[in-house]
A and B are shown apart, each in its own frame.
Chain A
Amino acid sequence: MIKVKVNYAVVYNLPAEEILLTTGSLGELKEQLTQKLNTNPFNLAVRGQIADETLLLKDGDEVFVFPLLSGG
């Protein structure tokens, strides 16, 4: 089990939180977040870089969750 800190883009209006993961993969985190964030598509960034679902997170990693929205 690892614990990661999840920071949400402000439009989600959700406070940062710590989430426990069993496998530690970003895919596992994404699955948990999908239920929470309804159907709006989103991406995850770790250490300033968007990452795919196979990435294995480390204990204490910070993940930024943001919707697929553009600033024109």
Chain B
Amino acid sequence: MLGYTGKIAYIDLSAKKVEIKPTPLKLAEKFIGGSGLAARLLYEHLKPEIEPLAPEAYVAVMAGPVTGTALPGSSRFAVCGRSPLTGFWGEATSGGKFGAYLKKAGFDGLIITGKAADMVYLEVKNGNVEIKPGNNLKGLDTYELQDELKKVYSGNISIAGIGVAGENLMPMAAVINDHGRAAGRMGFGAVFGSKNLKAIVVEGQGEVPVAAKEPLHALARELTFLYKKEAELFTQYGTLAYLDIGYYFGDAPVKYFTRGLFPIDKVNAKRFREEYAIHPKACWGCPIACGRELKFKGRIVDGPEYETAVAFGPLVENFDLDTIVEANDIANRYGFDTISAGVTLALLMYLKEENLLPDNLKAEVPDFGDAEGIISALKLTGEKRGIGKLIGQGVVKTLEELGLSQEYAAAVRKLEIPMHEPRAFTGQALSYATGPRGACHQRGDFFEVDLGIIKDEDLGIVPGPRNSIEGRVDLVAKFQSLRELDNCLVKCNFTFTPLKAVIGALSFITGVPWSPEKVLAAANNSLTIKRAIAFNLGSSPADDKLPGHVKKPLAEGGAFGNVPEIEKYLPEFYQLRGWNLDGTIPDEYLAELLRDD
């Protein structure tokens, strides 16, 4: 089967050993690639007794069959393993050019374990991996890291690495690649840090083997034309364009999920464009260029994206654009997740306002809207000092440490809820509750279905009433599967491609016929094995729920009054996945997934 380089490197940093093994293509047919294949390959290694930051822990850096091909949106890669933030299955993806170059360097994935005695980095090129000394990289931020390694490497290279937050083993530390591209969620920066792994340099010289180059290129040209035509405003404004759309529908959370209104005229895409010289920035091979680069205080910084603009904006009641831009830059440089950091900071502000914080913390935690306090708190987070120690570990551990109820935690499976209000779209709420990594907008961004942003009429994916999923549970499950397919391929969510075209591309790439049933079954397999891993690591179907904090009706805004009722739909959802009615996984289904053939 083509589309795969056929090689996965297994790297043991303790033993300073690299072993290159063939990509198990039989399993690739069952899980396709990306985080799905990673979950299968890591299944036996992710055990409750091995803590996420232990030397014996594993982390996989994966591409998929479409990665590095002509298909638009094919630059991404996934970082997977046991999350230090949640303790369960974790995965995060990122764009830029790293994924494409990893494939072009000859690998479908890198599976890393062990711990180097001193700081190291990996050099990946021409089908080889070398462990290189990296003590000189210690303490560098993620931009300095790029600069330093580019003194050694040039040409078609891409670098993914960690900043100080990762070195400090902060549970929400990110892996940042290229400039400001983040595999942000779930703390894999800390996993890199725990292994004394500062960075991975990939040199992408080769070509990804595909079975039918011409038809693939013709399809890619057609899709590129479509995206360019339809995404003109997306190119101009990036994901920030969604700010006032989200506001209208009550999708942008405000003041730690307690309000629905904010001064949208102060924080919207137009204001950002008026305030800064913004340039679109594209990932490798992408016609859309949704990324942003802007000039701030005399230097070029990346972003912010919609998620970050809300997390450091309305969520903490900050409407000062400079503060949002600076907060994003701090997170990028130190290398931590803007969503989890924003949510945890907002939690502390909320607890302060509700008079639930101990006296010694009250002075340290800023009030909602305190711009200077926000910047200071985020710097402390990167440095793991003061209240930054609390923020860096996320809402669940923060509440544990404070001895407060988990009902205040805006999180599912211990992962902080991203910037899409579950009360604005009931289908989104069900996606959060059943997501393979916890509350995640990228593994079932159902709000886009009910806004008519994404449609696939062949599959019955059409919008419906956003406050109800009655009679539409199958649609939520199907859309979650489609997004899971993206994570297996590994393909960008923003280039939504009708399934028919995805199957065409996958068949052209691999030379193997794929059908809707086969790819959706693979996506289901991927979701199921990730769930099985989460269960092995201490989660259970009881975690398929929203926290109490977001189950109170909002008194204002576009999500006014709605409390998503999802519990009654869970048995139907489970059944659609082939799980037992209580949400557990049938033994025979799991056994089938664990077979090597």
Spell out A's residues near B (CB within 8 Å).
9-11, 13, 39-41, 43, 45, 48-50, 64, 66-72
Are the C-beta atoms of B233 and A40 separated by less than 8 Å? yes
Q: Which of B230-264 contact A (CB under 8 A)?
A: 230-234, 236-237, 239-246, 248-251
Given contacts A10-B243, A66-B245, A72-B494, 9 further A-B contacts (CB under 8 A): A11-B237, A11-B269, A41-B230, A48-B250, A69-B241, A69-B453, A70-B448, A70-B493, A71-B310
By size class, the interface of chain B is 35 or more
Are the C-beta atoms of B233 and A64 separated by less than 8 Å? no
Task: Kindly list chain A residues whose C-beta atoms are within 8 Å of the C-beta of B307.
Answer: 71-72
Q: How far is the CA of A49 from the CA of B465 in the complex (A)?
A: 7
Interchain nearest-CB distance for A30 vs B (Å): 12
Known interface pairs A11-B269, A49-B466; A72-B248 also in contact (CB < 8 Å): no
Are the C-beta atoms of B239 and A67 separated by less than 8 Å? no
Q: Does B186 contact A (CB under 8 A)?
A: no
Among A11, A39, A64, A68, the residue within 8 A (CB) of B453 is A68
Interchain nearest-CB distance for A72 vs B (Å): 5
Q: How far is the CA of A13 from the CA of B420 in the complex (A)?
A: 24
Are the C-beta atoms of A69 and B452 separated by less than 8 Å? no
Which 10 pairs of residues, A with B, have the shortest CB-CB distance? A71-B242, A71-B306, A10-B270, A68-B453, A43-B452, A66-B245, A69-B241, A72-B239, A11-B241, A10-B268
Among B229, B246, B248, B454, the residue within 8 A (CB) of A45 is B248
Known interface pairs A10-B269, A11-B233; A72-B241 also in contact (CB < 8 Å): no
* A-B contact list, 16 entries, CB within 8 Å: A9-B241, A9-B248, A10-B269, A40-B230, A40-B233, A45-B248, A49-B466, A50-B452, A66-B245, A66-B451, A67-B233, A67-B245, A69-B242, A69-B245, A70-B453, A72-B494
Interchain nearest-CB distance for B555 vs A (Å): 15
Task: Kindly list chain B residues whose C-beta atoms are within 8 Å of the C-beta of A69.
Answer: 231, 233-234, 237, 239, 241-242, 245, 453
Task: Kindly list chain B residues whose C-beta atoms are within 8 Å of the C-beta of A41.
Answer: 230
Residue of B nearest to A52 (CB): B463
Known interface pairs A9-B245, A39-B229, A64-B248; A50-B463 also in contact (CB < 8 Å): yes
Q: How far is the CA of A49 from the CA of B463 in the complex (A)?
A: 10
Interchain nearest-CB distance for B372 vs A (Å): 27
Interchain nearest-CB distance for A50 vs B (Å): 5
Among A13, A39, A43, A71, the residue within 8 A (CB) of B239 is A71
Task: Kindly list chain A residues whose C-beta atoms are within 8 Å of the C-beta of B248.
Answer: 9, 45, 48, 64, 66
Interchain nearest-CB distance for A24 vs B (Å): 21
Task: Kindly list chain A residues whose C-beta atoms are within 8 Å of the C-beta of B270.
Answer: 10-11, 13
Known interface pairs A10-B270, A11-B233, A49-B465; A68-B452 also in contact (CB < 8 Å): yes
Q: How far is the CA of A41 from the CA of B310 in the complex (A)?
A: 25
Residue of B nearest to A68 (CB): B453
Are the C-beta atoms of B466 and A67 separated by less than 8 Å? no
Task: Kindly list chain A residues whose C-beta atoms are within 8 Å of the C-beta of B305.
Answer: 71-72
Known interface pairs A40-B230, A40-B233, A48-B249; A70-B269 also in contact (CB < 8 Å): no
Chain B CB within 10 Å, residue with most, of A10, A43, A50, A70:
A70
Are the C-beta atoms of B230 and A71 separated by less than 8 Å? no
Residue of B nearest to A10 (CB): B270
Q: Does B203 contact A (CB under 8 A)?
A: no
Are the C-beta atoms of A10 and B239 separated by less than 8 Å? no
Q: How far is the CA of A11 from the CA of B244 in the complex (A)?
A: 9
Among A39, A48, A49, A71, the residue within 8 A (CB) of B243 is A71
Task: Kindly list chain B residues whose C-beta atoms are within 8 Å of the C-beta of A40.
Answer: 230, 232-233
Task: Kindly list chain B residues whose C-beta atoms are within 8 Å of the C-beta of A50.
Answer: 450-452, 463
Residue of B nearest to A66 (CB): B245
Q: Does B445 contact A (CB under 8 A)?
A: yes
Q: How far is the CA of A48 from the CA of B451 in the complex (A)?
A: 10
Q: How far is the CA of A10 from the CA of B305 in the complex (A)?
A: 16
Q: How far is the CA of A10 from the CA of B246 in the complex (A)?
A: 12
Chain A CB within 10 Å, residue with most, of B442, B448, B453:
B453
Known interface pairs A43-B451, A49-B465, A50-B451; A71-B246 also in contact (CB < 8 Å): yes
Q: Does B199 contact A (CB under 8 A)?
A: no
Residue of A nearest to B249 (CB): A48
Are the C-beta atoms of A11 and B493 separated by less than 8 Å? no
